[in-house]
Amino acid sequence: MIETRILKPTDATLYEAAATLAAGALVAFPTETVYGLGGDATSDTAVAKIFEAKARPSFNPLISHVPDLDAAFALGNFNKRARAAAEVFWPGPMTLVVQRRENCPISLLASAGLDTIAIRVPAHPLAAELLRTVDRPIAAPSANPSGRVSPTTAEHVLAGLAGKVSIILDGGPCSVGLESTVLDLSGEAPTILRPGAVTAEMLEPLLGPVAAAGASAKIAAPGMLESHYAPALPVRLNAETAEEGELFLGFGEASGPDGAETLSAAGDLTEAAARLFSLLRALDRPGAIGIAVAPIPETGLGVAINDRLRRAAAPRA
Ligand code: TXA
Ligand code: MG
């Protein structure tokens, strides 16, 4: 066990966080999507600590975070499409999978031995400042025990990883609330391996047809294991109302019984995405027998919300 400290961001704590990362220890930090569990992506030891802290299967590769496009271009081979996507959507809630450059310094453990690499330039000002200060790629999966609900506040990180991470930089709640879109541009057909806030509709004008990964995604993005983002309680989808003993999570007009929580009373998908993980955690309490969730439209950001909900509801291993 190591001592875990939650620090408010100041020049001094940012510098301390960067020095901690450079020394090979782990620092959790906010991005606009979710909190990441960061470690030096070029250090096998630091990357091994990430897998251990999360109890994450080591065949599931990590995203390397960098402060700007040039730092990204130094790690991977960006073809024309990858450059275009990077220029339009970075910094932002999108991860690109590209071919690894020959001299790429990223630990092979971080990319699980694949010849591709996942890279992201986050937009959150604290993440950007931390990455500029530490001046090396930072591997960062979501800062939660593997398979559980991703964290959107510093307190969520503490609840899952106390004693396993040195510093948690507290940047308040994440604005997007769902993990980044993972877009594979390493092959011929652009493919969304994980839906997120950058949607197929947003990408297609730039890239042409974008495929959504189906069953084969399990091989391409090993992280997309069936049961994931799961609270301890069972989750039931497309529920019109709560059954005896269930807690209800509403959306729009499907507001459930009196006093039930809602993802967005106004039926706003952006608000629903930002609140999803917090509410799944809040409803995950002893005494209830399950969480019933109202239907969410399968459009825009709803695709990513439904993806996470289906995995939260999937049969547990
Ligand atoms: O929003 C996010 O993406 C957050 C923040 C912290 O940046 N990070 C995150 O990381 O969600 P993680 O490790 O929980 O998810 C990374 C996803 C996994 O599904 C993994 O399998 C996939 O990216 N991935 C990583 N490298 C890959 C590669 N070379 N090829 C295909 N998929 C890859
Ligand atoms: Mg994750």
Report the Cα 5 to chain-centroid distance in Å.
Answer: 22
Pocket flag, ligand 1, residue 221 (CB < 6 Å):
yes
Q: Indicate if the pLDDT at residue 221 is higher than 90.
A: no
Cα of 253 to ligand 1 centre, how many Å?
A: 34
Cβ atoms within 10 A of the Cβ of 70, count? Answer: 9
Ligand 1 probe mutation, 50, 54, 63, most atoms within 8 A of CB: 63
As a whole number of angstroms, the distance between CA 149 and CA 56 comes to 14
Give 186-212 pLDDT, tens digit per residue.
Answer: 998 999 999 999 999 999 999 999 998
- How far from the centroid of its chain's Cα atoms is residue 257's Cα? 31
Q: Enter the tokens of residue 160.
A: 């899952």
CB of 118 within 6 A of ligand 1: the answer is: yes
Which ligand is the nearest neighbour of the Cα of 224?
1
Question: Six-digit token pair at 270?
Answer: 């952006």
Provide, rounded to the nearest whole percent, the portion of the chain with pLDDT above 70: 96
More confident residue, 218 or 48: 48
Closest-CA residue to 285 (of 145, 159, 128, 185): 159
Closest-approaching ligand to the CA atom of 63: 1
Average pLDDT of the chain is: 94
Do strands 94-100 and 76-77 pair parallel, antiparallel, or not at all (unpaired)? Answer: antiparallel
Alpha carbon 235 to chain centroid, angstroms: 20
Question: Does the structure show a pLDDT above 50 at 257?
Answer: yes
Given the CA of residue 140, which atom of ligand 1 is nearest to it?
A: 6
Check if 117 has its Cβ closer than 6 Å to any atom of ligand 1: yes
Give the mean model confidence (pLDDT) for residues 237-252.
96
Asked if 301 and 199 count as a contact pair (C-beta separation under 8 A), the reply is yes
CA-nearest residue, atom 18 of ligand 1: 223
Task: Tell whether ligand 1 has an atom less than 6 A from the beta carbon of residue 114.
Answer: yes
Burial class (CB in 10 A: 0-12, 13-18, 19+), 225: middle
Q: Which atom of ligand 1 lies at the shortest distance from residue 176's CA?
A: 1
The pTM score is 0.94
Does the pLDDT of residue 218 top 80, yes or no? no
Residue 156 CA, ligand 2 centroid: distance in Å: 13
Confidence of residue 215 (pLDDT cuts 50, 70, 90): very low
pLDDT level of residue 315 (50, 70, 90 thresholds): confident
- The share of the chain scoring above pLDDT 90, in percent, equals 90
Indicate if ligand 1 lies below 6 Å from the C-beta of 31.
yes
User: Residue of the nearest CA to atom 20 in ligand 1?
Assistant: 223
State the average pLDDT over residues 226-253: 94
- Which atom of ligand 1 is closest in space to residue 196's alpha carbon? 1
pLDDT band for position 297 (50/70/90)?
very high
Residues 85-96: tens digit of each pLDDT: 999 999 999 999
Query: Of the ligands numbered here, which is closest to the C-alpha atom of 225?
Result: 1
- Per-residue pLDDT, averaged over 248-258, amounts to 95
Instruction: For residue range 16-36, list pLDDT tens digits in order.
Output: 999 999 999 999 999 999 999
Confidence at residue 98, expressed as pLDDT on a 0 to 100 scale: 98
Burial of 80 (0-12, 13-18, 19+ CB in 10 A): exposed
At 137 the pLDDT is 98
| Per-residue pLDDT at 213 | 80
Q: What is the pLDDT of residue 59?
A: 85
Ligand 1 centre distance from Cα of residue 180 (Å): 8
Residue 219 pLDDT > 50, yes or no?
Answer: no
pLDDT at residue number 224:
54
Q: Burial letters for 226-240: b for 16+ Cβ neighbours within 10 Å, e otherwise?
A: eebbbbebbbbeebe
